[in-house]
Structure 1
Amino acid sequence: MLGACPLDCPDTCSWVVTVRDGEAVTMRGNPDHPYTRGALCVKVNRYLEHAKAADRILHPMRRVGPKGSGRFERISWDEALDETAARLRGIVEEHGGEAIWPYLGTGTLGYLQGAEGVAGRRFWNVLGASRHHLNICSVAGNTGLRQVNGTPGGMDPETFALSKLILLWGTNTLTSGHHLWKFIQEARAAGAYVVAIDPIRTRTAEQADEHLPIRPGTDAALALGLMNVVLAEGAEDRDYLANRTSGWADFREEILRYPPERVAEITGLPVAGIRALGVRLAHTRPTGIRATMGIQRHAGGGTAMRTIAAIPGVTGDWRHPGGGIAYSTSGHIHLDIDTRDDLLARPVRTLTMTRLADELDESVKCLWVYGANPMASTSDQNRIRERLLREDLFTVVVEQFPTDTVDYADIVLPATMQIEHADLHAGYGHMYLMWNEPAVEPPGECLPTTETFRRLAARMGLTEPSLYDSDLELAEQLLSSGHPSLEGVTLDRLRKEGWVRLNVPQPFVPFTEGFPTPSGRLEFGSGPAYVPPHTASAAPGPYPLSLITPASHTFLNTTFGNNPELLRRSKGPRVLVNPEDAARRGLGDGQRARVFNGNGGFEAVVEISEKVRPGVVASAKGHWGKLSPGGATVNAVVDGRDADMGRGAVYHDNLVDLVPVSPSSSADSPALSP
């Protein structure tokens, strides 16, 4: 059975599931898919095992213990629907629909069941619920790219095989989207030079031809410095600048304010290294830049993406296959996502995902969590816990496993996993639409999210016909936008073939006919081209170390955070510390430390390494608090601040310190594996 990986990864793999006697027995990457090429990642290779795990939630449950205790009793679907419908109806009647916060995450990126599309949104519009700003992942970068190119869509990642210079900028390809590496290898075989720009010497940085260990959040300054060298070399594409861009004169003056010497002071990189890469950039066509979501999770994240996106405008790389910038291909997806906003009786407020600790106040009477695990994944963790303990808050969690967030629910509803439901996907790291056909029947009483909302709408007596559209009807609607990129893409074809490339040329060179901006040109814009991170601009204080929280190689956000084998491979929460910083604090390799600031703290095993520069520490996201020593995750120290654009998250822009933890103080902490 052909399907597609639903997880929050640019690669959106095509997979093949073998079913025997109604049971999924094997899963492998689809060898016929041009991007997947037969390979899955270390995480998804355990997907079938995960779906059969002993701790899978299989039935509706009602809380019987105190909030946070994780104590529940099994109830029937009729009981769950009756109680939930009555509570929602009462909240709407007494407080209005805005008292409901539908908190949707990126647990699945499906256009039917998950974050990308229509799951539940029509239902919430009928009730007049508050809108949910899903800002946790990419919004600052998306906003910055739209200001320059008019869209976050950029290069087809497959064209990196044609690049001669590849800048992997703030992205760990071999952990977070490893299928791109095949195309990078093709480029290297043809003579391409690969540079990793990253505060950590990651798996990817170790495989690159050159690694620039930049200070976190100073990427825009480096971009300006590189363009400064391009100008000094007289290598700017003057024809492209004159005919395909706007705002160049002012932006050129901004570039001139950032010579390599100034940029070296800001970024912590040597002047010679900045100048050498600038010269290489000036004279190497095409140059492809891969910059993904981690790069924009700081105070100046949107500006950073906007400034980096200016580079292909200066060099003229958009002329060439293999030239430009690849952040997300989502801007090239033109599905008709009809959430029926006309069903809203009046405008409603918007509540912001990463501000859960601030905005989950007494005006919110129901928190409905699906595809999300905010107790482990969202910033300002300790204050979120306080909010979730409110007795007047009715919390419903739609889930597959007993996550940290489930422990605070009043009602838990069992959700299907990808091999058990239908969904439509589009990778944000390639140019293919994917269909996921259910391979097996759901276990227990698990339901697709779409079916849960259909049943709840019926139990509430709602009569809006679109609330009852089937999954196949919803998929047909999504494909009906009429955009030229969808010509020839039908649901019947997708169900038969499993995947279809968008109707675009191959190789795909975007913006050959102009940019989707007001001027039709690449727009350099005005204002500052570098906004310092909070860690650089904050006054000296008690927390001198800059913390970044990269993706784990074994978890996908907090998905798989309870898988015993992947937990074992992760070696538990760890924190990378430079030898200089470790020595100052009396920390030894393998010792447990508390990482803390004014928000709280978490415990992790120290790994002394020069993979991080002095003044920087790193601890991967994805662990569950209930399975971690001390009961907290890295998000206990992450601020609930906003980035400069789109209210983006700031997971890589926090100040902390470390102290040793004595063995006795952690004796009663949860184990690192179940």
Structure 2
Amino acid sequence: MRTDPGSTPTHCPYCALQCGMRLATAPDAADGSGITVVERPDFPVNRGALCGKGRTAPAVLSDRVRLTTPLIRTHATGALEPATWEEALDAVADGLARVRTGHGPDAVGVFGGGGLTNEKAYALGKFARIVLGTSQIDYNGRFCMSSAAAAHQRAFGLDRGLPFPLADLPRTGCVILVGSNLAETMPPALRYLTELKENGGTLIVVDPRRTRTAEQADLHLAPRPGTDLALALGLLHLVVAEGRTDEEFIAARTTGWAETRAAAMAHWPELVERVTGVPVPRLREAVRLFCTPESAMVLTARGPEQQSKGTDTVGAWINLCLATGRAGRPLSGYGCLTGQGNGQGGREHGQKADQLPGYRKLTDPAARAHVAEVWGVDPQTLPGPGRSAYELLDALGTATGPRALLLMGSNPVVSAPHAAHVEERLRSLDFLAVADVVLSETAALADVVLPVTQWAEETGTTTNLEGRVLLRRRALTPPPGVRSDLEVLNALAARLDPEPGGGLEKKFPTDPAEVFAELGRASAGGPADYAGIDYGRIEREDGVFWPCPAPDHPGTPRLFLDRFATEDGRARFVPVAHRDAAELPDAAYPLLLTTGRVVAQYQSGAQTRRVAELNRAAPGPFVELHPRLAERIGAVEGRPLAVVSRRGRAVAPARITDAIRADTVFMPFHWPGEGRANSLTNPALDPVSRMPEFKVCAVRVEPVEEAG
């Protein structure tokens, strides 16, 4: 591999901060990548700061750990064996075509990822709908912030993770951070909270664990997992009871307050204390801290969102902001901390089961007509909405579900809820093709594996958690034997063309700049309008905030200051009421499990588990539990514990700490095998967002006899 002359400005391949960095030649790099990371202090989001994952990101570029040749499973041995690209592409096209011919278009599914660039996400959605003709497409971003997205749409008429730049955080008066451990999930962003406190602002953290982030808080609220909705309703009750509502804002800029107020008043403080375990005095203190300054924000993350009532939970926090006039004003508002690197852009341009590019609804005739015209097809040929992510995975190999699957940039064997069941469904397929940079646990099950380029080997855009569209620049020549996802889709389109030589592949250009220009035309006039953005402008301006409908439009760093994106311009209160998690503790499963991340690993760990430095920092899974619980069950620090739910069993060493509730255990979800946390998690779905309930399920915990 080689770098272009000098260093190349680009962005980290991991979380949705999309931290700026530079890549430079390093022939003696110990990790074998041939490059090194250089800080980029001029980029405004991270201002040079990088976490360990960002600093070590080049390690996965090394030929030592990544795929460099296609693989095909042979009938003779049942093993994956090296193949040529022509053989592999022919096998994928034959497998998809055979199933589609025998069982219909919806017998072929597509599953994407929140790490794909905007160009690849756009092309994948287009490929599913006009080449395969299938409605069965969704992506792992459904597991990220779909509940917040649904709540945004209901309340504001538009979904963008943060409706303001991160730079606004230190200048507000109070931040309530719900279910986020920024110190471990987005370490460079922690400085914004530090600066908030240095400026005299206050920080409230809501988390059942006393995390490194919670230790920075002025007030830490530790509710039982699954009770964030009751907590938000209790705070709103106190806001009303103490006369802290902003009646002028409510009257001028919202609708639906009377019903929402009545719903909140049914959640009196003593009831909320019983449900959540948070004492009433701490509820009152949270209201005082939030309502006293002129401005304040609520930020949510996976904690309240990954629940079977996640949409209503986020909606309750939005209601708190609206009732206090903390939305649609400078330095105030509700925002969601998107997790995956392109979790925002990945859902805007067609990977989701119900959406078309530009965040258009697949059921909207006008949207279908617009996108079909850009694609040069008849709108009537576009399939309707399909299954959501877990429902798609759950249906694989069944009589009514997909029998073949094309998967790009995801590892559901580790990341999906009820993971053992999902693994079983993947094994049941007639045909599975996976395009990835490493041989993930999911790729290892495939009939064909296609080795594709990585972040530093290709140009493309991502959209970070602020709605800032960014450009990742190609800095390296990929190794021989590796192709881009765009090249894969182009080659498959040619092979699957119903008219041999008909030129279908021309609808799938391999130049990312050409794809992005088409994406801009397809998104024009839609909620997520990129029409005024091009690569040159992104480079000049350190990213452009959407919506940006024209080249002379300044972009939109701050949404909703004048009006909300609803038909009448008013935000909508949505009345909600607390309800229990889908699964509660009982005699057989007396504890609650919650899951999350650690600083040195990322998502399913498919890439970070291949980096020696990160593995030294976080070598494997663990079970975090309170000393009282440890004493009761006879757990010993570092000794193996079995965590058992109604769906499976996981084994990992005990980590005993008083930083967690005594009725709760915690496991990180980055590892496969016997320590796979998602063997335990509950696939109960939110009725609106179809988000699974990752964050709470009933379990029992018991020591494991060690051999010898």
Instruction: Give the TM-score normalised by the residue count of structure 1.
Output: 0.90
Work out which of the residue numbers 218, 221, 225 in structure 2 matches 1:216: 225
- Return the alpha-carbon distance in structure 1 between the equivalents of residues 39 and 80 of structure 2: 38
Work out which of the residue numbers 615, 626, 643 in structure 1 matches 2:686: 643
Q: Quote the offset at 1:155 in angstroms.
A: 3.3
Where 1:310 maps in the other structure, the secondary structure is helix
- The residue number in structure 2 matching 1:474 is 515
Where 1:379 maps in the other structure, the secondary structure is coil
Q: Quote the offset at 1:410 in angstroms.
A: 0.8
Q: Is residue 359 of structure 1 aligned with residue 367 of structure 2?
A: no
Label 1:111 to 1:485 Cα distance change in 2 as closer, same or farther (>3 A): closer
Work out which of the residue numbers 575, 589, 611 in structure 2 matches 1:543: 589
- The residue number in structure 2 matching 1:404 is 441
Q: Quote the offset at 1:320 in angstroms.
A: 3.8
CA offsets per residue over residues 153-208 of structure 1, 9 Å max, x none? 33332211111111111111112223332222222112111111111111101122
Unaligned 5+ segments in structure 2 are 1-7, 339-343, 350-356, 359-370
- Return the alpha-carbon distance in structure 2 between the equivalents of residues 87 and 324 of structure 1: 49
- The residue number in structure 1 matching 2:362 is none
- Return the alpha-carbon distance in structure 2 between the equivalents of residues 248 and 72 of structure 1: 60
Work out which of the residue numbers 103, 115, 120 in structure 2 matches 1:113: 120
Label 1:549 to 1:318 Cα distance change in 2 as closer, same or farther (>3 A): same
Q: Quote the offset at 1:109 in angstroms.
A: 3.9
- The aligned amino acid for 1:373 is N
Where 1:16 maps in the other structure, the secondary structure is strand
Q: Is residue 445 of structure 1 aligned with residue 451 of structure 2?
A: no
- Return the alpha-carbon distance in structure 1 between the equivalents of residues 345 and 261 of structure 2: 28
- The residue number in structure 2 matching 1:420 is 457
- The residue number in structure 2 matching 1:184 is 193
- The residue number in structure 2 matching 1:46 is 56
CA offsets per residue over residues 96-121 of structure 1, 9 Å max, x none? 12111111122x1410234xx33363
Q: Quote the offset at 1:59 in angstroms.
A: 0.2
Q: Quote the offset at 1:432 in angstroms.
A: 2.4
Work out which of the residue numbers 634, 642, 649 in structure 2 matches 1:601: 649
User: Does the CA contact (< 8 Å) of 1:200 and 1:213 recur in 2?
Assistant: yes
Label 1:176 to 1:596 Cα distance change in 2 as closer, same or farther (>3 A): same
Label 1:283 to 1:346 Cα distance change in 2 as closer, same or farther (>3 A): closer
- Return the alpha-carbon distance in structure 1 between the equivalents of residues 156 and 345 of structure 2: 11
Label 1:42 to 1:412 Cα distance change in 2 as closer, same or farther (>3 A): same
- The aligned amino acid for 2:149 is N
Q: How does 1:268-347 map to 2 (within 5 A)?
A: 268-318=277-327, 320-327=329-336, 330=344, 337=358, 340=375, 342=378, 345=381, 347=383
Unaligned 5+ segments in structure 1 are 668-674
Q: How does 1:485-500 map to 2 (within 5 A)?
A: 489-495=533-539, 499-500=543-544
- Return the alpha-carbon distance in structure 2 between the equivalents of residues 21 and 29 of structure 1: 18
Where 2:651 maps in the other structure, the secondary structure is strand
Label 1:324 to 1:120 Cα distance change in 2 as closer, same or farther (>3 A): closer
- The residue number in structure 2 matching 1:670 is none
CA offsets per residue over residues 281-337 of structure 1, 9 Å max, x none? 232221111112332111211100001011121111225422111115849998865
Where 1:640 maps in the other structure, the secondary structure is strand
User: Does the CA contact (< 8 Å) of 1:416 and 1:448 recur in 2?
Assistant: yes
Work out which of the residue numbers 468, 477, 481 in structure 2 matches 1:432: 468
Q: Is residue 371 of structure 1 aligned with residue 409 of structure 2?
A: yes
Instruction: Give the TM-score normalised by the residue count of structure 2.
Output: 0.86
Q: Is residue 581 of structure 1 aligned with residue 629 of structure 2?
A: yes
User: Does the CA contact (< 8 Å) of 2:68 and 2:482 recur in 1?
Assistant: yes
User: Does the CA contact (< 8 Å) of 1:63 and 1:409 recur in 2?
Assistant: yes
- Return the alpha-carbon distance in structure 1 between the equivalents of residues 300 and 414 of structure 2: 26
Label 1:361 to 1:145 Cα distance change in 2 as closer, same or farther (>3 A): same
- The aligned amino acid for 1:403 is S
Q: Quote the offset at 1:349 in angstroms.
A: 6.1
Label 1:66 to 1:189 Cα distance change in 2 as closer, same or farther (>3 A): farther
- Return the alpha-carbon distance in structure 1 between the equivalents of residues 110 and 51 of structure 2: 31
- The residue number in structure 2 matching 1:463 is 503
User: Does the CA contact (< 8 Å) of 2:125 and 2:137 recur in 1?
Assistant: no
- The aligned amino acid for 1:455 is A
CA offsets per residue over residues 519-561 of structure 1, 9 Å max, x none? 32111124x33232224xx372411111111122112202413
- The residue number in structure 2 matching 1:671 is none
- The aligned amino acid for 1:415 is V
- The aligned amino acid for 1:12 is Q
Q: Is residue 17 of structure 1 aligned with residue 23 of structure 2?
A: yes
User: Does the CA contact (< 8 Å) of 1:399 and 1:413 recur in 2?
Assistant: yes
Label 1:534 to 1:28 Cα distance change in 2 as closer, same or farther (>3 A): farther
Q: Is residue 36 of structure 1 aligned with residue 46 of structure 2?
A: yes
Q: Quote the offset at 1:495 in angstroms.
A: 4.9
Where 1:549 maps in the other structure, the secondary structure is strand
When the two structures are aligned, how many residues end up with a matched partner? 649
User: Does the CA contact (< 8 Å) of 2:69 and 2:84 recur in 1?
Assistant: yes
- The residue number in structure 1 matching 2:700 is 657
- Return the alpha-carbon distance in structure 2 between the equivalents of residues 473 and 486 of structure 1: 14
